[in-house]
Amino acid sequence: MAFSLSGVLKSLGLGQSQEGSILGIDIGASSAKIVQLRSSKGAAILETYGEIALGPYGQQAIGKAVKLAPEKIAEALVDVMREANVTGRSGGLSIPFSSSLVSVLDVPRAEPDQLKRMIPIEARKYIPIPVSEVTLDWFVIPREEGEQSAFDRVQKETPLQAKGQEVLLVAIHNETLKNYQTIATNAGLKINFYEIEIFSAVRSSVGHGIAPILVVDLGAATTKIYIVERGIVRSSHLLSAGGQHMTENLARSLGWEFEKAERVKRERGLANTNAYSPDENDKIKSALLSTLSRIFSEVNRVLLSYGQRYNKNVSRVVLAGGGASLPGLKEVAHESLSAEVEIANPFSHAEAPAFLEEVLREIGPGFAVAVGIALRKLKGS
């Protein structure tokens, strides 16, 4: 499936300009998404976007998570760029949370130069593989004004913490980066930067608040849960349940093929329709809810434990990822979660013709990572 905006944009006199266009590319487990933005007078203009299911490139159904060789993924990217009339060739690429390691280190206060030497040594305590096999990146977490320790507010400050500082450390396996380089080369893309998908999703899904917010990225095979506070990711969790499990439950419960279950899930979701008997409607709903209730109870657990640990109330949950487009999800989430619920609307950060607003809102959650990565470059951060 691919969508193209270029036709309509041209007819509105907003032709694509290759120069200055920036791509955000997200290779998910079940589909690849690409977004092309351009900066104009400080605003981000949406030039085009596309999505392509990866399942068929590995003889699997649409909606299934697949492991593909880099060459196959490059093929899919070339296809989606053609179908969506992508003209840009450079931008950023997201790295899956599952291929990365994110941790918060407590280190003594030090000058940047000293940190450069200190962090690879400290990192050994957190990384289960040799540091020489990973690429490290980090940044110092700024302290909250008037607060002793930003990360451990309720704990009494120890002498070490008093002199220490917190560093957000990310590590990516060199092998993973090499694979992405192969994909980029084969697809004719120039990748200016890589970013772990957490940070991209947060940029496009969460506004500039200071209050803690929980972001749920409902993917195909996994669900990612992050807590963001003052724009900083403070806590992250990976859950091995996602949209694919909903489809599998539905297929099993109604004796359908995966393809049919996937279609019905996307079209009707949790809403009752006349197309099915009351008994079937109930079965469809409970098949979808069985995965959702697992996810929601994990979200509630994270909300509770963060609240207790830092003595703060996380009052808002933002749902992103393709799974967040499930019709009727917001209502169920509202009933099940002990916080306000919102569906991510990443395209709201970019300017697009008004008549596209509704479709962009509907498909938006799945593009949270792709939009976020393109925004990073435009915003120059």
Ligand X SMILES: Nc1ncnc2c1ncn2[C@@H]1O[C@H](COP(=O)(O)OP(=O)(O)OP(=O)(O)O)[C@@H](O)[C@H]1O
Nearest approach in angstroms of CB 255 to ligand X is 19
Distance from first CA to last CA of the chain, Å, rounded?
A: 32
Tokens representing residue 59 in the block: 């003889």
Interface residue with Mg ion, options 28, 92, 212, 365 (CB under 5 A) = 28
Q: Which does 325 bind (CB under 5 to 8 A by kind): Mg ion, ligand X, none?
A: ligand X
Instruction: Report the candidate in 33, 26, 63 with the shortest Cα–Cα distance to residue 246.
Output: 63
- Extract the runs of DSSP E, i.e. beta strands, from 112-222: 134-140, 164-173, 190-196, 213-218
Q: Pick the closer one to ligand X by CB: 38 or 245.
A: 245
Range in contact with Mg ion (rule: CB under 5 A) among 13-21, 140-148, 177-185, 212-220 = 212-220
* Using rule CB under 5 A, residue 372 touches Mg ion: no
Element (H, E) at 79: helix 70-83
Alpha-carbon gap, residue 79 to 21, rounded angstroms: 19
Range in contact with ligand X (rule: CB under 6 A) among 134-142, 164-172, 187-195, 219-227 = 219-227
Q: What is the DSSP string of 45-104?
A: EEEEEEEEESGGGGT--TT------HHHHHHHHHHHHHHTT----EEEEEE-GGGEEEEE
Range in contact with ligand X (rule: CB under 6 A) among 3-11, 163-171, 265-273, 279-287 = 265-273
* Using rule CB under 6 A, residue 244 touches ligand X: yes
* Using rule CB under 6 A, residue 200 touches ligand X: no
Range in contact with ligand X (rule: CB under 6 A) among 72-80, 110-118, 155-163, 220-228 = 220-228
Alpha-carbon gap, residue 47 to 37, rounded angstroms: 5
Range in contact with Mg ion (rule: CB under 5 A) among 76-84, 116-124, 215-223, 339-347 = 215-223
Is 161 strand, coil or helix?
A: helix
* Amino acid occupying residue 255: G
Q: Pick the closer one to ligand X by CB: 212 or 219.
A: 219
Q: Which does 242 bind (CB under 5 to 8 A by kind): Mg ion, ligand X, none?
A: ligand X
Interface residue with ligand X, options 166, 195, 229, 262 (CB under 6 A) = 262
Range in contact with Mg ion (rule: CB under 5 A) among 24-32, 37-45, 278-286, 298-306 = 24-32
Nearest approach in angstroms of CB 28 to ligand X is 2
Alpha-carbon gap, residue 11 to 8, rounded angstroms: 5
Nearest approach in angstroms of CB 23 to Mg ion is 16
Nearest approach in angstroms of CB 70 to ligand X is 16
Instruction: Report the candidate in 119, 88, 286, 258 with the shortest Cα–Cα distance to residue 190.
Output: 88
Tokens representing residue 229 in the block: 């506070």
The answer to whether residues 350 and 370 touch, using CB atoms and an 8 Å cutoff, is no
Q: Report the DSSP pairing between strands 31-40 and 43-53.
A: antiparallel
Interface residue with ligand X, options 50, 219, 346, 372 (CB under 6 A) = 219
* Using rule CB under 5 A, residue 88 touches Mg ion: no
* Using rule CB under 5 A, residue 219 touches Mg ion: yes
Beta bridge partners of 233: 228
List binders of ligand X among 24-63 (CB under 6 A).
Answer: 28-31, 63
Alpha-carbon gap, residue 372 to 381, rounded angstroms: 12
Q: Pick the closer one to Mg ion by CB: 28 or 55.
A: 28
Is 119 strand, coil or helix?
A: helix
Nearest approach in angstroms of CB 373 to ligand X is 13
How many other β-carbons are positioned within 10 Å of the β-carbon of residue 121?
Answer: 10
Binding stretches for ligand X (CB under 6 A): 28-31, 63, 96, 219-222, 242-244, 247, 262, 265-266, 269, 321-323, 325-326, 366
